[in-house]
Amino acid sequence: MRKTITGVIAIACVLPLAARAEIVRFDITERVPAFAGRGFGTVGTYERITARATFALNPADDRNAVITDLALAPRNADSKVEAIADVVILRPTDPTHGNGTLLLDVPNRGRKLAPQLFDDSAQPGANIADKAEDAGIGFLHRQGYTMVWVGWQGDIPSKPGQLAMSAPVIKNIAGPAREEVIFDNTTSPARATLTWPAADPANLNVTVRAAWANARQTPPGLSAKLVDPTTVEITRPDGFDAGALYEITYTARDPVPLGMGFAAVRDVVSFLRHDETPANPLLDGLHPSVSRAIGFGVSQSGRFLRDFLYLGFNEDLQGRTVFDGLMPHVAGTRRMATNVRFGQPGRNPRHMQDPAWQADLFPFTYATLSDPYSGETDGLLRRCSLSATCPKVMQTDSEHEWWASHASLLVTDLAGNHLDLPDNIRAYMIAGTPHFAEAADVMKKGLPAMSLPQNPMHAGMPMRALLTDLNAWISDGTRPPASRVPMRAHGTLVSAQGAVPTDIPGLPYAGIHTLAAFSDQSVLPPKEIGRYPVFVPKADDDGMAIAGIRQLALAVPRATYTAWNPRAQGFGPTALYPLQGAVVPFAPTEAARKEVHDPRPSIAERYADDGAYVAAVKREAARQVAERTLLPEDAERAVEAAKQGKLAKLGL
């Protein structure tokens, strides 16, 4: 394969100063055919562009001033703060065959996840785009999207397969930091990696407890020592299982203004959309080949997008809208601990860890509300509303977020009452799905720390339909389907007590879910001040959520699929296993279910034969296509999978 290396282009030498471009260099290091020259229908082939974007921020600009510690960071000769972001672009080789939409997939811990979700691509190929099979089913490519990834995370290294941002270190600053670790083993001593280098070994402390609600303990046999500035070795005491919670506090040093990552995404997207010089690799003739943009992110990067919007970064430095549409996926009502000193972008407190950490702070939803604990009045749309740069937002969550990431706060006020979403917001819960699962053709086996078999459901089909709906919404104003989430007003969002039947054999339900709290974070350990009401989806008699988008394996079921899976005995059984759900098959016959006192109708009672089952799948698929929550091509795939008895195994 011929490899093309494009020389460095110094944008500052080309653009007039009046443009105030924050991208001062865009260095293309590689430009090659993607996917071994595989073609995608009428769109044709794709090329992969690898680059590094140097951007420089003026701390005095109000749009940058929100970045914590930016004013303290080292400056360049122009008194600006510089950083470098990795950039990867996949674009149609012939840009006239593209659909005009830039789809930015915010990297998750440096990884590309959109290909796994939308294209059923497998890792590591999804991150490389070299072989033909790396494109999976090629959905995004057949649609003609220009796909972009921008490294934004400043606390991880840039390396093959991992996009990152290199930002300046601020020396001679130290301060308190805190980490929480669950080892899921009984090894002692055990090692944990600190996010930031420790400034003083004497200030390293560790506590242990069986669960978050318990008091912190320092029993005999518990100790911690630094192996190096970012590695701590913990000697573990007797009497605690593999799921015990260890809390490490220390004095950290040398912070990085991690909030620059938001500016990296803002400025690279604005540059690709609007720059009309040869420096822009998306230039097609006199103008860029994209005219609109969607920001997409999974989990950590979905939370990134919620903070991106909240902090005002959807307005570029010329006052233009950066993203026309945002699609934060599986973020719940969490944000990030990024734009804070000694932030921890990679940390997402899981059940049960701190429910009032920086990732779980008010505001939770898009509408403006008043917080009874902080006294603040705020909402995720407040800043973009002031600058008239609010995008259309389609928030998509698996059902797991309604159990583990207090997603109910998206559609309730802080007293627990029903709350309508603003007109530019849609929300969808994909019922019965875990946090994130790759497409697979075999059922997964449960992990040792899970009490139940692992739910294999993959959300690719509804997500492809919803992305199509969002692109139509921003392209021609076609309104998407109404929000499909549990709601208090509908009786489908309820208290955890009694939300799920408790008489299903093999499905132990105890109402375990993540809380939402407000704490005083200025002290270590934080002091809890109060809690917000949190609700969960109401289940039907089969134990599956009533509301939301019910994929075909739920709508025409042969098993119960849940979005929660308790930890097993010996691994902290009072908590949920992170990110996973469970599957409990139906009995094959009426006699078999009666033998174990299973109230759920058996497979034989639901479907007269395999033909009847396939017919039911076909009818439901047609209904979902009409509702625009399923694409016709996926309906065909699902019916074929049902004929082969693979519908559930494929997560379809």
Q: Report the DSSP beta bridge partners of residue 501.
A: none
C-alpha span between 409 and 516 (Å, rounded): 9
C-alpha span between 222 and 189 (Å, rounded): 10
Omega into 74 within 30° of 0, i.e. cis?
no
Q: What is the mean pLDDT of each run of 10 residues along the chain (652 residues)?
A: 42 39 91 98 98 97 97 96 98 98 97 95 89 97 98 96 97 95 95 96 95 93 97 97 96 97 98 96 96 97 98 97 98 96 89 84 97 96 98 98 97 98 98 84 61 93 98 98 98 97 96 94 87 98 98 96 96 93 96 98 97 98 98 96 78 40
Q: Which residues contact 62 (CB under 8 A, 6 or more apart)?
A: none
Residue 349 confidence (pLDDT): 78
Q: Which residue has the tokens 């994130």?
A: 436
> How far, CA to CA in Å, does 558 sit from each of 509, 517, 583, 613?
20, 38, 10, 9
Sign of the dihedral defined by the CA atoms of residues 460, 426, 63, 9, in that order: positive
Query: pTM of whole model > 0.85?
Result: yes
Among residues 11, 53, 15, 52, which one has the least CA distance to residue 267? Answer: 53
609-616 contacts, C-beta under 8 A, 24 or more apart:
610/643, 610/645, 613/556, 613/558, 613/642, 614/639, 614/642, 614/643, 616/556
| Chain centroid to CA 198 | 29
Residue 359 confidence (pLDDT): 85
C-alpha span between 541 and 558 (Å, rounded): 14
Residue 355 confidence (pLDDT): 83
Residue 16 confidence (pLDDT): 37
Residue 215: Cβ within 10 Å count? 6
C-alpha span between 597 and 606 (Å, rounded): 17
Q: Which residues contact 37 (CB under 8 A, 6 or more apart)?
A: 45, 132
Sign of the dihedral defined by the CA atoms of residues 183, 117, 390, 423, in that order: negative
Residue 460 confidence (pLDDT): 95
C-alpha span between 488 and 491 (Å, rounded): 5
Q: Decide if 137 contacts 184 (C-beta within 8 A).
A: no
Q: Decide if 489 contacts 411 (C-beta within 8 A).
A: no
Q: What does the CA dihedral 330, 333, 339, 341 come to, rounded to 10 degrees?
A: -110
Pull the structure tokens for residue 117.
């979700």
Sign of the dihedral defined by the CA atoms of residues 139, 164, 100, 382, in that order: positive
C-alpha span between 548 and 462 (Å, rounded): 11
Residue 439 confidence (pLDDT): 65
C-alpha span between 403 and 392 (Å, rounded): 26
- Helix pair angle (632-643, 610-626), 10° resolution: 170
